[in-house]
Structure 1
Amino acid sequence: MQHYEYIGEVLPDGRLPIAPSIAKKLIPGQRIRVRIEQIPDAPIATGKKELDAATLRLLERMKNARPLGAPDDPESLRHSVLFEERMEEKFPWRG
């Protein structure tokens, strides 16, 4: 016994169409078993989707984050500047 699966829609006149690839394998008068499972309709997409609060916070942090990679200014790559930045990160001054 072979099993086939096909997802389709009910036609306006109430008929259930069978995929041509499956229909050609069936013999007229042959007994078949049909199982009907309703698939819930997909939610209708609106033009603008709302993001949850956690996603909005993450996007805001990404917008305010320092850029990664080498800076555009080659002067800022000097050893003394990099050392000062690293020291400020490790030992923040609290005045």
Structure 2
Amino acid sequence: MKYLFALAAALSFSAVAVAQDAPAIKARTMVKTADGVRIGFIDRVFQNAEGAPTSVQIIYKGRFVSIPAATLSNGDKGLVTSLTADDLKKL
């Protein structure tokens, strides 16, 4: 019984840690590339059936670009994507 409790406690603590590390993805948040290039502000957030963000839409160089939410992480002032400027040109 104590092993079951320890396992349940460990799983709940790891879930809390993951929730705290998840980026706050919302409209009007600045997004930059990993090397610091400003991409723009989030125009729209797309979500799955559970409400989790799947991608964001940004106006980049005069056109809409969808960036996968999995590439986003918290930065100093907004969000940072793991995509490069060259990757964005291909989207």
Q: Which has the higher contact order (CA 8 A, sep 6+)?
A: 2
Larger strand fraction of residues = 2
Greater radius of gyration (CA): 1
| TM-score (norm. length: structure 2) | 0.26
